[in-house]
Amino acid sequence: MNKRKIIRIDEEKCNGCGLCIPNCPEGALQIIDGKARLVSDLFCDGLGACIGHCPEGAIVIEEREAEEYDERKVMKNIVKQGKNVIKAHLEHLKEHNQFEFLNEAIDFLRDRNIEVPIKETLHPEHEHTAAFSGCPGSRVMDLMEEQKPAGEAAPKPKGVSQLRQWPIQIKLVPPFAPYFKNANLLIAADCVPFAYPDFHDDLLKGKILLVGCPKLDDAKFYEEKITQILKENNIKSITCVHMEVPCCFGLVNIVKNAIKAAGKDVSFNEVTLGIKGNKK
């Protein structure tokens, strides 16, 4: 089991009123022996739709070891409850930028010829929409999906971009983007790709890229965003690459603080570049 966000019910505070039940379309809650109970980790998405409807404040979100949320099993329960519940569930996922689960839910409905009761904003081939959907330049794209050749994957020739996703700016990337799943991250200072001529083949290949400037941007925001990415995804490793100038070393502290705040055991590697593009 992996650690993830999931609800916890304080039995002493719960009075069994049941107001949380209709506000959990996933079917994770039941009233048993006069108390609200979480009946299955598999059904709880950890987003807390039920919290605001508890008059006693008995429901909170915590992070603990739990079975992975299963969207298709949830949908089997939801379709039995009718169109309004289906709609509420899909809108719930959409509002929280859970586009991977939203895609699974829509696929489930389509496979069974059930109407999708919300206005779809996703491409039929699962082109994911970014949280910053107002700007086309920040739309989430998995470039590896677009570049996959038929049959066995062929290695990219030298001189071809190794970029696997879009956007790449720490400010713009959504923490729930599907390409973060089981990813190796490369977190690079803005100047690095300009200084290092072999950036794509030597550093970026096989990694998901995040770029930013620790001097010009909000370091606290960076730390919080990277922390959230680590908490919400199974990140395998992080390579942090920065320039030798003193202000650029701040990126290392940001990343290390984020790893500590996320409470994850993530492999970390630091690379320092000279202003002439040489590795230190």
Read off the pLDDT of residues 81-137 as tens digits, 9 standing for 90 and up. Answer: 788 878 888 887 887 777 788 888 888 888 888 888 887 544 333 444 333 444 445
Q: How far apart, in whole angstroms, are the C-alpha atoms of residue 46 and residue 69? A: 9
| CA quadruple 100, 101, 105, 107: dihedral, nearest 10 | 20
Read off the pLDDT of residues 200-245 as tens digits, 9 standing for 90 and up. Answer: 999 999 999 999 998 888 889 899 999 989 998 999 999 999 999 9
Q: Which CATH number fits domain 2-66: 3.40.50.300, 3.30.70.20, 3.40.47.10, 3.40.50.720?
A: 3.30.70.20
Torsion sign across C-alpha atoms 172, 175, 177, 183:
positive
Q: Which pLDDT does position 124 carry in this prediction?
A: 36
| 209/173: higher pLDDT | 209
Torsion sign across C-alpha atoms 147, 152, 158, 164:
positive
Query: What would the mean pLDDT of 165-192 be, rounded to a whole number?
Result: 90
Q: Which pLDDT does position 117 carry in this prediction?
A: 87
Its pTM surpasses 0.75: no
Q: Which pLDDT does position 155 carry in this prediction?
A: 58
Sorting pLDDT into bands at 50, 70 and 90, what band is 191? Answer: very high
Sorting pLDDT into bands at 50, 70 and 90, what band is 268? Answer: very high
- What order do you get walking across the sheet with 267-273 strand by strand? 208-212, 184-189, 237-243, 267-273
**Could you confirm whether domain 136-148+158-273 is CATH 3.40.50?**
yes
Q: How far apart, in whole angstroms, are the C-alpha atoms of residue 275 and residue 264? A: 32
- Any idea where the domains of the chain sit in the sequence? 2-66, 71-111, 136-148+158-273
| 177/2: higher pLDDT | 177
Q: Which pLDDT does position 187 carry in this prediction?
A: 98
